[in-house]
Structure 1
């Protein structure tokens, strides 16, 4: 398992963004805007993954650690 590098406010913000992008995805897909809906869904899945696993590959690449450890 990889080391955690997402925590605290960063994790909360990513969870909220995942929820918001999920709403945007559902709304735009219902309106027939497939490209926008799928992009929003991809973002929601990415932010949700980061929030749940406490790991972000971009943070690791940039050497960022928001866990406070």
Structure 2
């Protein structure tokens, strides 16, 4: 069953934050929990739930080329 919710996580900003002020996966899990998802059921690699832009779940620093 695919989730009704789709999360788009944009590239890190100049301070390394994503999705508002998520500075790492734990912050992202907290945002998702507040949105009504059970963090224990969330797989950050699930493309049906999360669309990563500017790098995947391991990228939490700004792009130095930019």
Query: Is the TM value for this pair above 0.5?
Result: no
Greater share of residues in helix: 1
More strand by share: 2
TM superposition score normalised by structure 1: 0.26
User: Could you tell me the TM-score, scaled by structure 2's length?
Assistant: 0.26
